[in-house]
């Protein structure tokens, strides 16, 4: 057995224990989701000019976790008929990123899909963040409210993402039974999170996802989870409390809640979302699933994988 095959076998057998009891986790999230079930979305839509003659763009805002307007694009082909609903791809950006320009998503329109592209609050996009800053944070966003599970940044972006699916399902021309979620890195983590929290999700493509085996990530990652490491470095007495809170947002623990087909990709040289974190979560998914290994890739999603994700969704959505 060569080294590559040996590494694949090791990752495939990687099964660290959950960091929270599943019944406790499920009870927590069912209480949260029930509390949000009747909360108004306050959705607002306005047409947006596009230089591309075959692309129709609307700017949509809605309320997720709190009163912060979360901004998104809803993009369709100009010949899209509301009488013939299409699948919809919901996307989230990587950490520090934004939803970008609508033409970023033209390939999905070429596949016959509509797109709902969502900002993440407070980062590089148009969306702000009205969460109260009750205590100090280290550089970045993810340590905000880290000692209060109901006011942590992870709670905010998780509920923003989960409610994005409800907004997408209400867009004209969308087939609500064919909503897929796609993202890379932070976006991949949020794609998995929405699949765990919102039953309207029909399929997931999570590339090099974050928010997996988060205690390992805090210890080893060089990116967003390192911000939490820096916070704990300043306040070491809060280590146990913070790790306990992170467990509620860790896809290692939430993976069994996913009940729809999933494709995950992983770069073995990734120092941001290490394969030890991604495989730990992937191995606990009980639904239909596929994984794509890239032994010589770091924290990146190459064109080959982008096509693989498109082909995966084409197969799955044609079955729905």
DSSP string, 48-86: E--S-TTEEEEEEEEESSSSPEEEEEEEEETT--TTS-E
**Residue 1 pLDDT:** 81
74 has a pLDDT exceeding 80: yes
Using pLDDT thresholds of 50, 70 and 90, give the confidence band for residue 188. very high
Structure tokens belonging to residue 57? 């763009």
Mean pLDDT of 241-270: 98
81: left (phi over 0), alpha (psi -120 to 50) or beta: beta
Residue that has been written with the tokens 């493509």 in this structure? 205
Mean pLDDT of 36-45: 97
**Residue 218 pLDDT:** 98
- Annotated catalytic residues are 185, 270, 299
**Residue 81 pLDDT:** 79
Mean pLDDT of 125-137: 93
Cite the beta strand spans of the chain per DSSP E.
Answer: 44-48, 55-63, 69-77, 86-92, 114-118, 174-184, 201-207, 262-267, 289-294
Mean pLDDT of 152-169: 98
Using pLDDT thresholds of 50, 70 and 90, give the confidence band for residue 254. very high
144 has a pLDDT exceeding 90: yes
Q: Which of 28, 13, 63, 89 is nearest to 249 (CA)?
A: 28
116 has a pLDDT exceeding 80: yes
Percentage of the chain lying above the pLDDT 90 cut: 96
Quickly list H helices, 114-238: 153-169, 186-197, 214-220, 224-234
- The per-residue pLDDT for range 6-17, each reduced to its tens digit, is 999 999 999 999
Mean pLDDT of 26-34: 98
CB neighbour class for 104 (10 Å; exposed up to 12, middle 13-18, buried from 19):
middle
- Phi/psi for 155 (5° steps) reads -65, -45
Using pLDDT thresholds of 50, 70 and 90, give the confidence band for residue 83. confident
Using pLDDT thresholds of 50, 70 and 90, give the confidence band for residue 162. very high
Percentage of the chain lying above the pLDDT 70 cut: 100
Interacting residues of 49 by C-beta distance below 8 A, sequence separation 6+: 57
CB 60 within 8 A of CB 171: yes
**Residue 10 pLDDT:** 97
99 has a pLDDT exceeding 80: yes
Domains annotated for the chain, with CATH where assigned, are: 24-319 (3.40.50.1820)
Mean pLDDT of 71-83: 91
Average pLDDT over the chain, rounded to an integer: 97
25 has a pLDDT exceeding 90: yes
Q: Is 235 annotated as a binding residue?
A: no
pLDDT top residue among 1 and 256: 256
């Amino acid at each position: 057995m060569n080294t590559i095959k040996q590494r694949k076998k090791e990752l495939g057998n990687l099964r660290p224990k959950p960091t929270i009891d599943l019944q406790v986790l499920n009870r927590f999230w069912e209480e949260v989701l029930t509390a949000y079930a009747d909360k108004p979305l306050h959705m607002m839509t306005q047409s947006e000019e596009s230089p591309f003659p075959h692309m129709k763009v609307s700017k949509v805002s809605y309320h997720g976790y709190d009163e912060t307007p979360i901004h998104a694009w809803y993009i369709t082909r100009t010949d899209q008929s509301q009488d013939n609903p299409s699948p919809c791809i919901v996307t989230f950006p990587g950490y520090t990123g934004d939803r970008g320009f609508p033409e970023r998503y033209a390939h999905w329109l070429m596949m016959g899909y509509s797109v709902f592209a969502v900002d993440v609050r407070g980062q590089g996009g148009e969306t702000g963040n009205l969460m109260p800053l009750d205590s100090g944070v280290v550089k970045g966003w993810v340590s905000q409210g880290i000692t209060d599970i109901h006011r942590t940044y992870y709670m905010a972006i998780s509920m923003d993402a989960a409610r994005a699916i409800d907004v997408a399902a209400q867009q004209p021309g969308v087939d609500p039974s064919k909503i897929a979620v796609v993202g890379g890195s932070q976006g991949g983590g949020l794609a998995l999170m929405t699949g765990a929290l919102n039953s309207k999700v029909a399929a997931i493509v999570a590339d090099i996802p974050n928010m997996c085996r988060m205690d390992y990530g805090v210890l080893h990652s060089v990116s967003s989870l390192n911000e939490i490491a820096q916070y704990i470095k300043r306040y070491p007495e809060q280590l146990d409390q913070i790790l306990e809170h992170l467990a509620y947002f860790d896809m290692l623990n939430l993976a069994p809640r996913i009940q729809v087909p999933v494709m995950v990709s992983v770069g073995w040289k990734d120092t941001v979302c290490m394969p030890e974190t991604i495989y730990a979560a992937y191995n606990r998914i009980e639904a239909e699933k596929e994984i794509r290994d890239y032994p010589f890739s770091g924290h990146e999603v190459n064109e080959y994988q982008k096509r693989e994700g498109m082909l995966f969704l084409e197969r799955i959505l044609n079955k729905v």
